[in-house]
Amino acid sequence: MNYTTQMDAARKGIITKEIETVAKKENMDVNELMKLVSQGKVAIPANKNHKSLDAEGVGQGLKTKINVNLGISKDCNDIDMELKKVKKAVEMKAEAIMDLSCFGKTQEFRKKVVDISKAMIGTVPVYDAVGFYDKELKDITSDEFLKVVEKHAKDGVDFMTIHAGINKETADTFKRNRRTTNIVSRGGALLFAWMQLNNKENPFYERFDDLLDICEKYDVTISLGDACRPGCIKDSTDASQIKELITLGELTKRAWERNVQIIIEGPGHMTLDEIETNMKLEKKLCHGAPFYVLGPTVTDVAPGYDHITSAIGGAIAATYGADFLCYVTPAEHLRLPNLDDMKEGIIATKIAAHAADLAKGIKGARKWDNNMAVARQKLDWEKMFELSIDPEKARKYRAESNSPSEEQCTMCGKMCAIRNMNRVIGGKDLNVLRDDD
């Protein structure tokens, strides 16, 4: 039986290799997974031309996934360095990589990323349009925007951020309700500018059916971009953000009618107490579609530490419904992340994702922590390193401590509670002051 997309296959009862792979990874019954994919509550981004893909699912009942942003820019045009980041991100088991390249030989880099990455690959085609055509934003036509989308689809990109929700109505809402930081989405700002300069409708909204033709052909998942995400605490959960979200919900239904998978992108900056409400709003207005969030960043005053402010928000967001976390690095708002920044961002986001999976009761999540608890009780350092989210750092810290005994570390020494409880319960002598064991 033939099928066009993973959603189409699921609706026809066809178990694709990608559905089978995800079911095994998630310890989920394949029929249960197919039902969720058929309903749009789980997306499996899997472009037909991405041959090296090891498929992942994003959505209801699945482990929270993380995405790593990278790519070349005019100020930092180093393809070799960005490829090193790709390889490291895959090594660190990031489930997705977004190539946000916006300058130079983007196709060359994009093809290399698709070829070497078993993680799903995302892009933002509007970033590429200016460089691809070597012409000013105002002069790019709607046909040309769609041709860039098709080029990315042919190259094997699994999901694309498309800012189709910032139509004329949303733009008018924004203009009537001014913000402190205006529109902080790069793609959203480009499309808003194009609309204003040309006095035309957003081409991705106006020609959404043409966009669906491309995505259905290659099985590209649309990640509906949040052009109006808040860029500061003061702008959160405002008229522009909610107006766009309503539009994204309408577009979601249109995509599902064509068997095109959808992910919804979300905020942004907001305070801790707003996160739960925002997650519930998205799930309600967008009919249970998977939710992909940047952060949320829970305070504006920590440049250099936004991997922490975003991990705090991400853990809460995923607990209350977000399915996919975009990593944020210490370099956010400051510069292009280097390799070390990327690693810190991945670790912080993986911690947030796993913390949420524990809270949501995701199958297998608690077992990982339980195994760590047993290793700690046994003072089995090698097992602790093996189970660590960042084994490299754990080993480094242990090696630097110069602890005189495997029964302790240099923080508590012989007053280590685990050491002493193990000795007392085991009927051994307990010495805390003497130098002998």
Binding residues for [4Fe-4S] cluster: 409, 412, 416
Binding positions for Zn(2+) are 269, 333
Question: Across the strands, what pairs with 69?
Answer: 98
Binding positions are 69, 98, 127, 163, 185-187, 226-229, 265, 269, 292, 333, 409, 412, 416
Size (the chain), residues? 437
> Which amino acid, one-letter code, is at 30?
V
- Cα–Cα distance for residue pair 5/158, rounded to 1 Å: 11
For residue 369 the two structure tokens come to 């922590």
Residue ranges with strand state E in 125-220: 159-162
The SS3 assignment for 292 reads strand
Q: Give the closest residue to 123 by CA, choosing from 149, 146, 144.
A: 149
Q: Give the closest residue to 92 by CA, choosing from 306, 434, 303, 393.
A: 393
The SS3 assignment for 42 reads strand
CA atoms within 13 A on the CB side of 294: 24
- Cα–Cα distance for residue pair 246/165, rounded to 1 Å: 8
Q: Give the closest residue to 224 by CA, choosing from 251, 191, 256.
A: 251
For residue 83 the two structure tokens come to 């490829």
337 class by beta-carbon count within 10 Å (0-12 exposed, 13-18 middle, 19+ buried): buried
Longest dimension (CA), the chain: 83
